[in-house]
Amino acid sequence: MKHPDRLPNKPRGFTLLEILIASSILVMAMTAAYSIYRSVARTQEVGHWTSMTANQLRNGLTLLRNEITRATPPTQITQQGTTPFGDPAQGFLYGPPTNPYTNDFSSGDTKLIEFFMCQPGKRGKLDAPGEPFAIPGVKSEDPEIMQGLLEIVGRKLVYRRTIISQPGTVVQKTPTYFQEICANPKSIEIKITQTPDLSVKARNIIHVTVVAQHPRYPETKVTESMEAAFEVPFRLGGYP
């Protein structure tokens, strides 16, 4: 016979201690999961940045190497061959103030390497009949002159090619070409040497090494280098 005042059995609730223990376990599990997530996310971010930066550096330095090998003084073609034309200062490659040179991108905008790429013009008798070595039946044409410039702009390493003069008879090109070589540079080193081999026409060699640094993880770096041979003489201290 049931006692009339006795209540039926109810499930026992959690004690405060049990709730605290369960909460602690949940927090530790969530912390571990978040730590793993951050580690995976960082690995992916660093890997993506490293790949993209390495490709950008390689492409930019390859372009710079190809452009430097084209460095030539402005000339005109006559019956005697090629003769100098225009500003003699455009017949040099201009490097930084010192050789070797290092820059950590903390000193503001700076011109690093400057040179000129020229296609010969012509000296013709049609507009220079009195010149004995002008080419008969040809109209004079000035050379095409382009300036190549490696510089630091806004803490970024960029290359710029600018057309200084262009004959009207050739297909018109874009006046200025711009390419960013490195968006997060840490340092750049430039060294110019001269090979003693007199049989080699392009005796001057320029070495450029760029170090890029991750903007959020400074211990992550990418280093790329290039080497280019060029024929024109070089001067230090920039274009006059």
Q: Which residues pair with 119 in a beta bridge?
A: 144
Letter for the amino acid at 63?
A: L
DSSP 63-89: HHHHHHTT----EEEETTEEEE-S-GG
CA 24 to chain centre: 51
User: Which structure tokens are listed for 188?
Assistant: 């750049």
Q: How far apart are CA 232 and CA 206, in angstroms?
A: 12
Nearest alpha carbon to residue 222 among 191, 197, 185, 169? 185
Place of tokens 């390495």: 54
Cα separations (Å) of 173 from 73, 140, 225? 20, 21, 29
Return the domain boundaries, the chain: 30-236
Residue count of the chain: 240
Q: Which residues pair with 10 in a beta bridge?
A: none
Query: What's the pLDDT at 12?
Result: 61
Query: What's the pLDDT at 26?
Result: 81
Are the beta carbons of 98 and 110 closer than 8 angstroms? no
List of residues 6+ apart from 91 with CB closer than 8 A:
73, 74, 84, 116, 232, 233
Q: How far apart are CA 221 and CA 50, in angstroms?
A: 8
Query: What's the pLDDT at 76?
Result: 86
Query: What's the pLDDT at 11?
Result: 61
For residue 92, give the 3-state DSSP assignment: coil
Average pLDDT along the chain, 240 residues, taken 10 residues at a time: 55 70 80 75 83 96 96 88 87 95 92 94 74 73 91 96 80 81 96 77 89 94 96 88
Query: What's the pLDDT at 133?
Result: 67
